């Protein structure tokens, strides 16, 4: 049982390049979330998907897009990377109701 799997684990991009961060969960969870974690800032929600087929903006959505490909997979896309998007990105999932979120180990992204 892998839980939440994120790929890649590390990535270096140049300003203006695009890339997609992948996330998959094998727990049959309904909701999925993308966060970014910056030093001294805690985790901030970028986008979330309350259920398959729906996506909504979180606190810091600018510069990102998401796709809920199916119940298992939720991808985050940077169309034109900027140095301000250098961060650690975490994907999480949750079953429903008053249940905790389960996190992947993160993608460490550096944009030069």
Partner 1 sequence: SQQGEEDPQALSIQEGENATMNCSYKTSINNLQWYRQNSGRGLVHLILIRSNEREKHSGRLRVTLDTSKKSSSLLITASRAADTASYFCATDPERGSTLGRLYFGRGTQLTVWP
Query: Which residues form the interface with partner 1 (CB under 8 A)?
Result: 4, 31, 33, 35, 40-45, 48, 50, 56, 58, 90, 92, 94, 96-106
Determine the Cα–Cα distance for residues 112 and 99; give it in Å rounded to an integer.
38
Whole-number minimum distance, CB 16 to partner 1, in Å? 28
User: How does DSSP assign 44-80, residue by residue?
Assistant: EEEEEESSTT--EE-S--TTEEEEE-SSSBEEEEESS
Q: What is the DSSP letter of 41?
A: T
Identify which of residues 40 and 62 has a Cβ nearer to partner 1 in the complex: 40
Whole-number minimum distance, CB 18 to partner 1, in Å? 25
Whole-number minimum distance, CB 100 to partner 1, in Å? 4
């Amino acid at each position: 049982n892998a839980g939440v799997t994120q790929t890649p684990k590390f990535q270096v991009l140049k300003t203006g390049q695009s890339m997609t961060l992948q996330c998959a969960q094998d727990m049959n969870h309904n909701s999925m979330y993308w966060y970014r974690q910056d030093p001294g800032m805690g985790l901030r929600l970028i986008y979330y998907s309350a259920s398959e087929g729906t996506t909504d903006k979180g606190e810091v959505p600018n510069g990102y897009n998401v796709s809920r490909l199916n119940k298992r997979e939720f991808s985050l896309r940077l169309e034109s990377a900027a140095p301000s998007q250098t961060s650690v990105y975490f994907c999480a999932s949750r079953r429903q109701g008053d249940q905790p979120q389960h996190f992947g180990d993160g993608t460490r992204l550096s944009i030069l």
